[in-house]
């Protein structure tokens, strides 16, 4: 009898302890979310007041409240997941503002920008690593880190300025899709080489084929299906139409394990499919409301993941600055050459739009460090490059666009 009572009491105490621990962790996460949302709102507003893209202020907010400065929030799995969902909704919203016909009109330029924007940074990054005396695989991984592009950051700046439908913006978005396909294929190959695996041409071709095939399938099958169901969609209430949009967007994003594409690119494709009926079916405003909440979380978490403590050594800073120059030059030159048919101004904007590395660069760098492909010093150099391209490129893009607007408005 005593044993049973003791067992019951022990069970109750253990359950209460687990509940308290769970409750404490939940409270910590809620406080963390509070700081993330507050910092995003404050720094985004401050940045906008000074004519700086809100996304830059939000990335800086992440740096301030993160482990490197105030230590208010840690980049836990919860925030990383929430940030990824924010990026998905951001690109879904961008897709809703992009029609396939507009993208196809700049298909040639988008392909050239993507290919050159991968080849040039890859060569420059490999050369930099080779000059530093790194092993071939390590140098190749540095080149792969330079290939990465965070289209989410550029897309938000273009969305803020209301230029998503301009030809140069369509080239950036089209190039981002191709860049994702080729870049992730390259990452898979380099990671395989680093792990000592035999990466065959057939495996590379399969990865590439799955990615290209999925994009083609979504656009060639999805758009006709949505057009056929347009009449039924128009009969739905706002909430039900939104549910349909949500299922399509998240459903395609969730298929990332099948074809190797990043979820944000799939969300962009889903948005493009639904863009064909957005004028007849009113769900864009509700999607925008969710995106307006979650997208800033994504940019703050980008800042949270940056470890400023790794950038305390002068040789690392100098090497990181050199790597940043190469990273900017590779993408900018790729845009200037690939989109030169649009004119020098638009081609420059395209190049700048492909410069930010953001969360994609952080992920690539973390993979390289975790797999032992690069050491701590090289990781810190790549980290500085990611931080500078993420913050400076949107500033340059906005400044150039605003200057062009002033010139056009001048009498």
More confident residue, 14 or 138: 138
pLDDT tens digits, one per residue of 346-400: 999 999 999 988 767 776 777 777 677 888 788 888 888 988 998 888 888 888 8
Strands (E), 11-157: none
Q: Give the model confidence (pLDDT) of 225-258 as tens digits.
A: 777 766 666 666 556 666 666 676 666 666 655 5
Phi-psi group of 256: left, alpha or beta (phi > 0 → left; psi -120 to 50 → alpha; rest → beta)? alpha
Q: Identify whether the C-beta of residue 143 lies closer than 8 Å to the C-beta of residue 121.
A: yes
- d(C-alpha 283, C-alpha 226), whole Å: 14
Residues 261-319 have pLDDT tens digits of 566 667 777 777 777 776 666 667 777 788 888 888 888 888 888 778 777 788 889 99
Greatest CA separation found in the chain?
95
Token pair listed for 344: 């020098």
Could you tell me the domains of the chain?
A: 51-303+311-403 (1.20.1530.20)
Question: How many angstroms separate the CA atoms of 269 and 104, rounded?
Answer: 13
> What's the mean per-residue pLDDT of the chain?
78
Residue 20 confidence (pLDDT): 45
How many CA atoms are closer than 13 Å to the CA of 95, on its beta-carbon side? Answer: 30
CA dist., res. 269 & res. 294, Å (int): 19
- Model confidence at 407, in pLDDT bands (50, 70, 90)? very low
Residue 90 has pLDDT above 90, yes or no: no
Question: Which residue's structure tokens are 């948005």?
Answer: 271
């Amino acid at each position: 009898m005593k044993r049973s009572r003791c067992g019951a009491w022990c069970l109750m105490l253990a359950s209460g302890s687990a509940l308290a621990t769970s409750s404490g962790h939940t409270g910590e996460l809620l406080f963390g979310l509070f700081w993330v949302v507050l910092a995003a709102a404050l720094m985004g507003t401050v940045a906008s007041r000074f004519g700086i893209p809100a996304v830059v202020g939000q990335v800086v907010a992440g740096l301030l409240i993160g482990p490197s400065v105030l230590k208010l929030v840690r980049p836990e799995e919860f925030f990383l997941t929430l940030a990824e969902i924010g990026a998905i909704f951001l690109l879904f919203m961008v897709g809703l503002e992009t029609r396939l016909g507009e993208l196809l009109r700049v298909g040639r330029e988008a392909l050239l920008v993507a290919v050159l924007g991968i080849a040039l940074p890859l060569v420059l990054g490999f050369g930099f690593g080779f000059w530093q005396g790194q092993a071939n695989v390590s140098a190749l991984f540095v080149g792969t880190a330079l290939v990465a592009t965070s289209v989410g950051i550029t897309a938000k700046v273009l969305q803020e300025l209301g230029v998503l439908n301009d030809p140069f913006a369509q080239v950036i978005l089209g190039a981002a899709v191709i860049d994702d396909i080729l870049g992730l294929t390259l990452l898979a190959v380099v990671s395989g080489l680093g792990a000592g695996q035999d990466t065959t041409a057939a495996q590379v071709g399969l990865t590439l084929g799955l990615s290209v095939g999925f994009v083609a399938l979504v656009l060639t099958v999805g758009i006709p299906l949505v057009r056929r169901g347009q009449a039924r969609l128009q009969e739905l209430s706002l909430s039900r139409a939104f549910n349909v949009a949500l299922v399509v967007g998240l459903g395609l994003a969730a298929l990332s394990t099948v074809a190797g594409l990043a979820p944000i690119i799939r969300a962009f494709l889903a948005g493009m499919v639904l863009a064909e009926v957005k004028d007849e079916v009113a769900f864009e405003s509700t999607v925008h409301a969710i995106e307006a909440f979650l997208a800033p979380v994504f940019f703050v978490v980008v800042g949270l993941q940056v470890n400023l403590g790794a950038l305390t050594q002068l040789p690392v800073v100098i090497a990181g600055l050199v790597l940043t120059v190469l990273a900017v030059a590779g993408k900018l030159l790729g845009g200037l050459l690939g989109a030169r048919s649009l004119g020098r101004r638009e081609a420059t904007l395209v190049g700048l739009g492909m410069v930010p590395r953001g969360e994609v660069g952080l992920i690539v760098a973390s993979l390289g460090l975790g797999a032992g492909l690069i050491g701590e010093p090289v990781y810190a150099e790549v980290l500085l490059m990611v931080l500078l391209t993420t913050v400076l490129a949107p500033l340059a893009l906005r400044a150039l666009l605003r200057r062009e607007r002033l010139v056009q408005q001048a009498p």
